[in-house]
Structure 1
Amino acid sequence: MALTPPNSLPPHSLPLLSKTHQPPSSLPTPHHLLNARFTPTAALHHPPPKPTSPSSPNPGLLFRQKLLYLEETLGIDSSEALSRNPHLRSFPLSSLHSLAAFLSSMGLPSTHSGAGRVLSRHPELLTCDPQTHLLPVFRFLLGPVGLPRKDLPLAVLRCPRLLVSSVDSQLRPALLFLRQLGFVGNHRISCRTTLLLVSSVEGTLIPKLEYIQNLGFSRREAAKMVLRSPGLFTFSIERNFRPKVAYLVEDMRREIAELKDFPQYFSFSLEGKIKPRHRRLVENGFGDMPLADMLKVSDGEFNDRLVEMRLRLLDERL
């Protein structure tokens, strides 16, 4: 059965915090937090609203304070967040503070560029129980994945989807597949490649590996190519692989075998770099520059190499 990661969990699928189930006002230190034992709690049903007494805070004022916190502190579009997560309307501001404090303890500051950036991408997280829903993901990243604590923020900011992915049905199977493929040792999963963990093994990783093999490479060669350029697992077969392979073979008249030594070819823009660089080579009477030399250098360095090649050609003719 295909292991497809949840693109985004609907708000009602995340445990909600009611007024009878508040996160602690003072969170333990990160060390204690990660090593403590927590018992997952089921989603709580919200009790019917109680009549407002004269001494109760003004509900309208509390709601405006919540919107102000979302907008000015976290940098979240409150209208969009409320639209995508209606439970947020009745969610207490104190619980939002506790959620932000939890994320801060994991290295994500309560700012626009920290927790706010993650919560903007996935507003369903705004009403989750961090100990039940988020803590297992952070434990997995620090434990089985082996990320250093200092790299947690970068991993999550690069791929907020990690926090809405199931450890057991998504992240762990992807990690096992990637390790079997060779993502260990010097190639182990890092904060720059944790985004691969949210990819479906059967729906994404295996089909892309098989496409590379079908170009004429063995499984071992395809695995080495992916290890050298992990981004291959993030590119579309139809929008990236096929047109670039076609241009390499039909227009550049190159051998597919060149990709084994330079799989990064697929990471360069076809229209923005590959085609213009190839045209410049043809216009100057050259066509056999190695792919790496053709694409990895800056425009200035590429122009310098063309000048050097033209001068060398003139010397040979003289």
Structure 2
Amino acid sequence: MQDTLPFLSKNNPFPPSLSSLHHHKHHDFPSLSRPRNLHFPTFSSKTITIPLPPKPPKIPEIPSISPPPSSHSDFQEKMLYLDSIGLDFFSLIQHHPPIITTSLNDLKSTVDFLTSFNFSTLELRRILSMCPEILTTNPTSLLPIFTFLFREARVNGSDLKKVINRRPRLLTCNVETQLRPTLYFLQNIGISEVKKHTSLLSCSVENKLIPRIEYFQKMGFSYRQTISMFRRFPQLFNYSVKENYEPKLNYFVVEMGRDLKELKEFPQYLSFSLENRIKPRHQCCIEKGVCFPLPVLLRTSEVEFRNRLEVCCNSSLPFKGSPLWCTKNCDIE
């Protein structure tokens, strides 16, 4: 946009700074005589328009920077507080960084809430070390979990601490989206006393429980047989397909030459250590030419197994009614 300068006109072609000089002769002002080779601009009678410089761009305002959520003193206070109950602050934030931004008051509220259920300092240390996410869980979110365990899972009050100590991750689960759907699933397949298997409540039905059922069906078991195995031994849901099922079932079929039907009667086979119990005892039986039923092979203590092995050397497979068939009062790994 161009503007006309008002002090330049036909009657007064000189700027104000030169107008007074126009009425005096040069000899009156020798210091202002025109030097050689210096050309002064000439002005016409026409109006002169001079473009104005463009407006400078508007500088955006710098947003104010909010202070960090936790000052240095708060950081130290949290570190000292957690250290006072035996927790390594740096180890906790390594596994669960949100602890850094959680206020000291919130941390204390959560610990005080758990203490109100008579958890000892040693128990709190173990629970929070195993699952640091609990520290950033508000007590208002923890209360529905305890209520669910009491009223819906039917956990006895005297067993509550044992349940949490066994599976601290329960305290980070949502009742509506995880705990209750898992409870209904377990009840629907015939596991009535879920309170004895509360560690399963933190498992995902879609990502963990159903895939394990499907794996046994792929192995050749019918759906009814599979459900019967999980109903008899719900701990099967806790085992990994890759690290437990596959190597143990492969050894069972290929090396031991057993029929999968035996697993239908004794799914606990998958709970024993492959290297420390299954392989050594199977090798002993091969050397002695003895074939024991799975419960006798795995459930009996080491001393009892050796005694039975010596007595039954070169004997045939005992019947279920035989005293050699032992399913009770035996050590389990």
Among candidates 199, 202, 208, match of residue 206 of structure 2:
202
Pair 252,87 (structure 1): closer, same or farther in 2 beyond 3 Å: closer
CA distance in 1 between counterparts of 2:89 and 2:292 reads 53
Q: Deviations over 1:272-293 (max 9, x none)?
A: 111110000010111x210100
Aligned partner of 1:224 in structure 2 is 228
Structure 2 residue identity aligned to 1:269: S
Aligned partner of 1:103 in structure 2 is 114
CA distance in 1 between counterparts of 2:252 and 2:94 reads 46
Structure 2 residue identity aligned to 1:78: F
Q: Aligned runs of 1:10-49 on 2, under 5 Å?
A: none
Aligned partner of 2:299 in structure 1 is 296
CA distance in 1 between counterparts of 2:217 and 2:282 reads 26
Q: Aligned runs of 1:238-249 on 2, under 5 Å?
A: 238-249=242-253
Among candidates 164, 188, 194, match of residue 189 of structure 1:
194
CA distance in 2 between counterparts of 1:248 and 1:311 reads 21
- Taking every aligned residue pair, what percent have the same amino acid on both sides? 41
| Structure 1 alignment gaps of length 5 or more | 1-46, 51-57, 314-318
Among candidates 151, 160, 164, match of residue 172 of structure 2:
164
Instruction: Give the secondary-structure state (helix, strand or coil) at the position aligned to 1:193.
Output: helix
Shift of 1:82: 3.4
Instruction: Give the secondary-structure state (helix, strand or coil) at the position aligned to 2:312.
Output: helix
- Whether 1:69 and 2:77 are equivalent positions in the alignment is no
- Whether 1:144 and 2:152 are equivalent positions in the alignment is yes
Shift of 1:65: 4.6
| Structure 2 alignment gaps of length 5 or more | 1-65, 317-333
Among candidates 245, 253, 263, match of residue 257 of structure 2:
253
| TM-align CA RMSD | 2.5
Shift of 1:146: 1.1
Contact 1:107 1:150 in 2 (8 A): no
Aligned partner of 2:308 in structure 1 is 305
Shift of 1:297: 0.9
Aligned partner of 2:125 in structure 1 is 116
Aligned partner of 1:236 in structure 2 is 240
Q: Deviations over 1:199-231 (max 9, x none)?
A: 111221111112223333332222221122111
Aligned partner of 2:322 in structure 1 is none
CA distance in 2 between counterparts of 1:215 and 1:92 reads 52
Shift of 1:76: 1.4
CA distance in 2 between counterparts of 1:262 and 1:84 reads 39
Structure 1 residue identity aligned to 2:78: K
CA distance in 2 between counterparts of 1:178 and 1:266 reads 20
Report 1 or 2 for greater relative contact order, CA contacts < 8 Å, sequence distance ≥ 6. 1
Instruction: Give the secondary-structure state (helix, strand or coil) at the position aligned to 1:108.
Output: coil
Shift of 1:94: 4.4
Q: Deviations over 1:93-137 (max 9, x none)?
A: 44433322211223423x13x222222223233233212x21111
CA distance in 1 between counterparts of 2:99 and 2:199 reads 28
Greater Rg over alpha carbons, structure: 2
Shift of 1:142: 0.9
Instruction: Give the secondary-structure state (helix, strand or coil) at the position aligned to 2:313.
Output: helix
Aligned partner of 1:176 in structure 2 is 184
- Whether 1:82 and 2:122 are equivalent positions in the alignment is no
Structure 1 residue identity aligned to 2:214: E
Aligned partner of 2:26 in structure 1 is none
CA distance in 2 between counterparts of 1:285 and 1:49 reads 73
Instruction: Give the secondary-structure state (helix, strand or coil) at the position aligned to 1:275.
Output: helix
CA distance in 1 between counterparts of 2:270 and 2:139 reads 38
Aligned partner of 2:135 in structure 1 is 126
CA distance in 1 between counterparts of 2:304 and 2:144 reads 48
**TM-score, normalised on structure 1?**
0.71
Among candidates 285, 289, 295, match of residue 281 of structure 1:
285
CA distance in 1 between counterparts of 2:93 and 2:283 reads 51
CA distance in 2 between counterparts of 1:220 and 1:128 reads 40
